[in-house]
């Protein structure tokens, strides 16, 4: 399965549960089939043949949507981003500067009631989001010339910078940064778009690590080990593989709640603890 150099740091105990190359390849293909199924119902997973144009206004709304896409359905988060951009802190050319210079109580009031008398963020984040928004506005103004599109201005070889730049913002963690990177490359053709989809790297989270270890594709559920091993597989589309594994981990292969009978990997899975 691996070259001698790759497996030299694994002990026999680490490798004893790992599947053969033939079964591993079959599991990987099943994951890709699951991705195709998911993509039929989720346009954020579809690779655009003709990428959408990212205007400044759309870029502002996109960034806001990323910040809001936690703890609530994605549709409400994206709509919230558009609504916030169109209805508050105008005029548009100085949108981010207006937020960063606004009084704290004004930002709190808008973020808590400005979405047609409702909060843009979910309840447990109503006190956090105003702070995150103000911090992001200052960073975008100071470091990106008030234009979020500069955050994802990267060559295919530097696609990883998109992920790393998003993670520098308060309130945007690993999962949101990864999501933003994947959507920008898939839908908007950033960093070469579809023709360079093989250059996207997986950013392992707990769901993906758990799935790959349990089914025997990797030797450990640790994020560092998963990242190291998965890089040797030369996946044709890491972003699609990542999305499908994440979904399997969330829906079928929970930490304590397993639904093996419904999981697409069940027949070939090692079902490790």
Domain ranges of the chain: 4-43+199-268, 56-193
pLDDT by residue for the chain (273 residues), tens only, comes to 333 333 333 343 444 456 788 889 999 999 999 999 999 998 878 898 888 899 999 999 999 999 999 888 889 999 999 999 999 998 767 999 999 999 999 999 999 999 999 999 987 688 899 999 999 999 999 999 999 999 999 998 888 899 999 999 999 988 799 889 988 998 899 999 888 888 777 777 889 999 999 999 999 999 889 988 888 888 889 889 999 999 999 999 999 999 999 999 999 888 766
State the number of CA atoms in the 13 A half-sphere of 157 facing the CB: 0
Handedness of CA 167, 212, 243, 25 (dihedral sign): positive
When the candidates are 1.10.1670.10, 3.60.21.10, 3.50.50.60, 1.10.10.10, the CATH number that belongs to 4-43+199-268 is 1.10.1670.10
Please, are residues 15 and 24 in contact by the beta-carbon 8 Å criterion?
no
What residues have CB less than 8 Å from 38, skipping those under 6 apart? 45, 243, 244, 247
Please, are residues 226 and 209 in contact by the beta-carbon 8 Å criterion?
yes
Q: In the prediction, which pLDDT does 18 show?
A: 65
- At CA 69, angle to CA 264 and CA 258, rounded to 5? 25
Fold of 56-193: Endonuclease III; domain 1 (1.10.340)
Does 4-43+199-268 match 56-193 in CATH topology? no
Q: In the prediction, which pLDDT does 58 show?
A: 96
Distance CA 169, CA 165 (A): 7
Neighbours of 15 (CB within 10 A): 12
Q: In the prediction, which pLDDT does 1 show?
A: 31
Tell me the whole-structure pTM to 2 decimals: 0.75
Question: What's CA 158's distance to the chain center, in Å?
Answer: 17
């Amino acid at each position: 399965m691996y070259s001698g150099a790759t497996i030299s740091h694994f002990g026999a105990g680490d490798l004893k549960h790992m599947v053969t190359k033939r079964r591993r390849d079959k599991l990987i293909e099943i994951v890709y089939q699951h991705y195709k199924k998911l993509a039929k119902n989720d346009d954020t997973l579809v690779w655009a043949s003709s990428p959408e144009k990212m205007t400044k206004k759309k870029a502002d709304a996109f960034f806001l949507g990323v910040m809001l896409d936690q703890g609530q359905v994605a549709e409400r988060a994206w709509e919230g981003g558009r609504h916030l951009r169109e209805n508050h802190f105008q005029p548009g050319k100085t949108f981010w500067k207006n937020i960063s210079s606004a009084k704290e109580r004004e930002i709190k009031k808008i973020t808590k009631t400005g979405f047609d008398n409702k909060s843009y963020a979910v309840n447990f984040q109503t006190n956090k989001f105003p702070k995150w928004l103000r911090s992001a506005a200052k960073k975008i103004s100071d470091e990106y010339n008030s234009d979020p599109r500069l955050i994802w201005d990267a060559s295919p070889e530097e696609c990883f910078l998109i992920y790393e730049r998003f993670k520098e913002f308060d309130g945007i963690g690993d999962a949101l940064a990864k999501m933003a990177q994947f959507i920008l490359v898939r839908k908007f053709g950033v960093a070469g778009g579809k023709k360079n989809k093989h250059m996207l790297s997986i950013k392992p989270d707990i769901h993906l690590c758990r799935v790959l270890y349990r089914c025997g594709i990797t030797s450990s559920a640790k994020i560092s080990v998963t990242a190291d091993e998965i890089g040797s597989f030369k996946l044709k589309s890491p972003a699609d593989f990542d999305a499908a594994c994440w979904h399997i981990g969330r829906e079928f292969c929970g930490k304590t709640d397993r639904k093996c009978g419904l999981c697409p990997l069940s027949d070939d899975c090692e079902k490790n603890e």
